[in-house]
Structure 1
Amino acid sequence: MNIKFNVLLINGPNLNLLGNREINIYGNISLTELIKKLKKKSKQNNINLFDFQSNSESKLINKIHESKNIKIDYIIINPAAFTHTSIALRDALLAVNIPFIEVHISNIYSRETFRSNSWFSDISQGTITGLGIDCYFWALKTISNRLKNISK
């Protein structure tokens, strides 16, 4: 019997502009293209990948709250600029108690000083930063391995 796992991919503010903004930092692939590739990889790993992007903190919080009801097994989150400011998003992740991996396309530790603080890294299962869009695929691979080990 193949168990299907549910993973929620959350992308925060300005990631809707992926592929069009600061290409030297974020690359030239659009969020739509990235999600399409991630969903293809997810299917190969027996994962249902749900995705959500918003520039609104409240919508992101609501989506995290909903994740408990739709039986999400794991979350991949790129909180973007909210990484450095949102205790509310942190509290939402703590409240639902779903394991998550924090990802960042750019290396937040090699940029402006204020970007080196994350409100999520100490409560995440791990943080992948600075590897471009590959960070999403590494997170997915890690989650796939962990979920397979749980289901044994």
Structure 2
Amino acid sequence: MKPYSFRLNKILDYRKYLSKKAQVEVFNARNECQQREKELLRLVEQRAEVSEECGEEEAKGMCVPVYQIFQAFMLKIDYDLKEAHLRLNEGKEKVIVKETILKQASIKKKTLETLKDLQYKKYMETLGREEQKILDEIVITGKGRSV
């Protein structure tokens, strides 16, 4: 009997490659999402600091141009916060998409691995029956000679 070979081995290797690639993409997407969260937190802290500073200056008594500068800066920070929220939501959606791709790639890879295992098990059972058949024939022919 010829040795066992899985005809779909190249496809299985490719599926493993796709699965690893998907894992890397999920990792990168999560890191990017974490960076966006850090940026958002930094902007929130900056807005709180500027607001506090504006309140202190207002208590001391500030002139109109300085107040307008503070207001313009606060508007810019608010705009940046909205943009950061949008980027964060996009990043979260991207992570979900990448995780879905990873799940599909893992399922396809696991399916081929299961098929390979089943075929190997079937091959080993067939090989065992063939060997037993040969041994039975040897025993039968050996008894026939001794009589």
- So what's the TM-score if we normalise by structure 2? 0.24
Greater strand percent: which structure? Answer: 1
Greater helix percent: which structure? Answer: 2
Larger radius of gyration: 2
